[in-house]
Chains A and B, each alone.
Chain A
Amino acid sequence: MSGRTIIELEAVRKTYATGSLSVEALRGIDVTISEGEYVAVIGPSGSGKSTLMHILGCLDVPTEGRYELAGRDVSHLDEGALARIRNQEIGFVFQQFNLLPSLTALRNVALPLAYAGVHGDERTRRARQALDRVGLSDRADHRPGELSGGQQQRVAVARALVTEPSMILADEPTGNLDSVSSADVLQLFRDLHDSGRTIVLITHEPEVARQADRVLAIYDGAIRDRQPEGIAR
């Protein structure tokens, strides 16, 4: 299962400077991920997993090093160009769901389409389709406050896949869910992977990481690349 290279990190470093104190969150990361891969990033708290995902998702820029996304160096793109990449090529799923509480599930899902310039009916149709895929078409008009945590996360997954991005980035998507809801969400990722999407899933739970084809273990800002066999199966 190896297609074209979609992600290539070379000697990426990220240093947070807070006053006189500086934290080295990433200390030289080299990673290559191919199109269609399902990769889990695992590591203890504070090891730099989220920092890595922010860089992969163009939400933040590396302090040093090179990041090529789909063959394009993104280190020097402006905010507008980065916004378009996030909109078109990446779908995010966060631990905190991050749905807008004032919008219905349907309109939350439709949000990335609005920024993509997709209009009216077409947008609603695609948003409904995405909700249907996560099994929540009957909750389209509910607000996040009226949904369970598991349902909210499924809405978030629907939002991540609505623009048909080639890559889904998920930062501890099951961190706030019980085992049943977790299984649901992980099944969704499985299905997305089967339909050819690249998936990067961040977790600190080995059972969750077992879902992936490949596991990147990160310790203290540096990577140890391992195959799933490396983890107790």
Chain B
Amino acid sequence: MNWLETLRTAIDAVRSHRLRSMLTMLGIVIGISSVVLTVGLGLGAQDEVRKQIDALGSNLLIVSPGSSTNSSGVRGGFGSASTLTLEDASAIADRTVAPDVAQVAPTTSTSTALTAGTTNWTTRLVGTTTNWPSVRSRTLASGRWFTDKEAAAGANVVVLGSEAASELFSLGSPVGQTVTVGGTALTVIGVLDKSGATSDDSNEDDLAVVPVTTAQRLTGSTSTAVSSVYVEARSADVLSAAYQEVNAALLTSHDVTSAEADFSIATQDALLDTANSTNRTMTILLAGIAAISLLVGGIGVMNIMLVSVTERVREIGLRKALGATPSAIRRQFLIEASLLGVAGGIVGSLIGVVGALVLPSMIDQPVSISAPAIALALLVALGLGVGFGVYPASRAARLTPIDALRSE
């Protein structure tokens, strides 16, 4: 009996025991679909993080005050976040000091209440320079950015993030309108496009951007401390060179050794790694659970194949009496098991894909569809079918025809 013939026999057997076949497949279906879904969830979360970090800008270094190695609280003063200043930013921007740095955008950040007419909205007041939108890869939805002249003069102008804009001005265009901060009136000159990204746990669309001198005046601050300095390298190739230059420049101007560094520099890759390490743990955990359900599904297949063999001992006896060799019987059950495995795998993958398409709208979590994960799932399903089909099949093949025929 050739393979094609055996395949037909197996399909017949699967079809003529519909309920049993479906129950067998169910375990695999659940296992595979949960693997596809959990892997998709994990990858989706990683994609999301990458998107958010990419949205911060490109070829970015983010300098923050305070040590990155502040494991012991002994190094006092670093936590005050006043170790990074506008002077540091101008030092880095110096071509002779850091030739691989393209642009520098120092930013201050303060939580502030804004008022437009009778509407109040507390948002993040960001004080920065004119090149902020270019460094941060932000674009304007309407209006314009503040000019160098306005920046130097500390003009009372503000560019709103999309969310802050819609909160303060639910009707009409905000551009040209006025918002007040602590009694000072600011003219809205522009509104930013949506970023969708979050960084430092802050919403990148809920902010009000003003020239840094304006911010100092509004918050009554006399220090030149900034909360971060965004540094854009000339290209991805010189990113690490830029990193070295910025690091050296800051160490020199702060007059500290690298062991005493009172600032930290993060790259986007480093941010991504940190964010993903937690994600990865979750993914591994979920995938582990999915793998266990797959294993349980496989054992279910084996169990039902065993029952099926026992149930069909007479059939096996008859086939042997009619001339089926042990290998023909083995092949029949093997193909039957793999057929169930593959069918379960395909149905499971389909459910996984449909789930990946439907789930994001329900749980507000991106789920990506990963082709390698599906291919692997199908392979595992086939493996389960074959692996767990082998034992019952060889058991069936070993029965002597008469023992089989006589059994009830």
Chain A residues engaging chain B, CB cutoff 8 angstroms: 54, 57, 59-60, 79-80, 83-84, 86-88, 92, 94, 98, 100, 102-103, 111-112, 114-117, 119, 159, 163
Contacts and interface: CB of A to CB of B under 8 A. Distances in A.
Closest 8 CB pairs of A and B: A87-B323, A102-B16, A115-B323, A59-B402, A83-B325, A60-B402, A112-B322, A80-B325
A57 B323 contact: no
Nearest to B400: A60
B5 interface: yes
A230 to B, nearest CB: 30
Contacts of A60: 400-402
Given A54-B402, A102-B12, A102-B13, A86 B326 contact: no
Interface stretch (B170-178, B266-274, B312-320): B312-320
27 contacts: A54-B402, A57-B321, A59-B401, A59-B405, A60-B401, A80-B325, A80-B326, A83-B326, A83-B328, A84-B323, A86-B320, A86-B321, A86-B323, A86-B401, A88-B323, A98-B318, A98-B405, A100-B315, A102-B13, A102-B16, A114-B9, A115-B319, A115-B322, A115-B323, A115-B325, A116-B323, A119-B2
A83 B321 CA distance: 7
B285 interface: no
Contacts of A98: 314, 318, 321, 405
Interface string B194-213: 00000000000000000000
Interface residues of B, number: 24
B90 interface: no
Interface of B: 1-2, 5, 9, 12-13, 16, 314-315, 318-328, 400-402, 405
A57 B405 CA distance: 13
A83 B323 contact: yes
B201 to A, nearest CB: 64
Looking at chain B's contact residues, is the secondary structure mostly helix, strand, loop, or mixed? Answer: helix
A84 B1 CA distance: 12
A100 B322 CA distance: 12
Given A59-B405, A60-B402, A102-B12, A115 B328 contact: yes
Given A102-B12, A102-B16, A103-B12, A87 B322 contact: yes
A100 B318 contact: yes
For B2, B320, B402, the residue with the greatest tally of chain A CB atoms inside 10 Å of its CB is B402
Contacts of B321: 57, 59, 86, 92, 98
A8 to B, nearest CB: 21
Nearest to B403: A60
B326 A79 contact: yes
A122 B40 CA distance: 51
For B321, B328, B402, the residue with the greatest tally of chain A CB atoms inside 10 Å of its CB is B321
A159 to B, nearest CB: 7
B13 A115 contact: no
Contact of B1 (A57, A114, A159, A163): A114
Contacts of B324: 83, 115
A92 to B, nearest CB: 6
